[in-house]
Amino acid sequence: MAAVTYRQALHDTLRAEMLRDENVLLIGEEIGVFEGSYKITAGLLAEFGPRRVRDTPICEEGFVGAAVGAAMLGLRPVVEIMTINFSLLAIDQIVNHAAKMHAMFGGQVTVPMVIRTPGGGGQQLAATHSQNLEVYYAHVPGLKVVAPATPADAKGLLTAAIRDDDPVLVLENLALYNTKGEIPDGEYTTPIGTAAVVRTGSDVTVVAYSRGTVVALEVARRLEADGVLELLSQ
């Protein structure tokens, strides 16, 4: 296993999937020349060219809509929205088009697209840049939502999302980009919709996702160091 950052895991997964499938392309604001606001797409424009790494105007409704059409015609676009808060500008395309086309056309078309976007608070980005809207999207029929907590999750879930024939929203908490963790060697996917038990115990069940998982594990480590977990088990 290799230890990498959450950011690097996302970058390497995008690159691997673009090498594996020529139908995978990236679309979003500043993802090419500027290499992305969070540098997830660094170097990919130089490697794959502007046909597969497409810089867009600041128009979320427009480029998400273009990705919906591209997906319906057989491509596998991965859209980067600079922050989940800006996804509200494209909510019609996400909720009424990407999520509904497969059912509305009786299964005659699929929409295999991914929307990658960071969210979460605590980064001093003000209220309009610090929301967690993924819970809303998780209630939208036809749309899948994943929120990786670790670099291993990030690789496995993003790979699964890109290969999925349904639209998938991949939430990346801003506070996780520089966190490090081990990822398994080789190619793998993490099943979408299956919970993982990341620590076993006997007294308390904590359900969390994304950064909440990381925080919960850190609390458990501190309790163990203080001897609290040992007392609970007696």
Catalytic annotation present for 60 = yes
Neighbour count for residue 127 (Cβ, 10 Å): 8
Q: Two tokens at 16? A: 């691997």
CA distance 233 to 29: 51
Contact 144, 206 (CB under 8 A): no
| Residue among 17, 29, 35, 60 flagged as catalytic | 60
Phi and psi (nearest 5°) for 84? Answer: -60, -25
Judged on CB neighbours under 10 Å (0-12, 13-18, 19+), 61 is: middle
CA distance 139 to 44: 33
| Residue among 11, 129, 134, 172 flagged as catalytic | 129
Catalytic residues, by residue number, are: 60, 129
